[in-house]
Amino acid sequence: DTGVSQNPRHKITKRGQNVTFRCDPISEHNRLYWYRQTLGQGPEFLTYFQNEAQLEKSRLLSDRFSAERPKGSFSTLEIQRTEQGDSAMYLCASSLVTTGSEAFFGQGTRLTVV
Provide the binding-site residues for another protein, judged by CB under 8 A: 4, 6, 31, 33, 35, 40-45, 48, 50, 55-56, 58, 91, 93, 100-108, 110
Q: Are strands 109-113 and 10-13 parallel, antiparallel or unpaired?
A: parallel
Closest CA to 67 of 23, 30, 27: 23
C-beta of residue 57 within 8 angstroms of C-beta of residue 64:
no
Task: Report in angstroms how near the CB of residue 82 gets to another protein at its nearest.
Answer: 20
How far apart are CB 101 and another protein at their closest, in Å? 4
For another protein, give the closer residue by CB, 18 or 62. 62
Q: Report the residue number, 47 or 82, with the smaller CB distance to another protein.
A: 47
Asked if residues 92 and 33 have their Cβ atoms less than 8 Å apart, the reply is yes
Cα–Cα–Cα angle for 28, 29, 30, nearest 5°? 115
77 close to 58: Cβ distance less than 8 angstroms: no
**Nearest distance, CB of residue 51 and another protein, angstroms:** 13
CB closer to another protein, 10 vs 15 = 10
Least distance to another protein from the beta carbon of 6, Å? 8
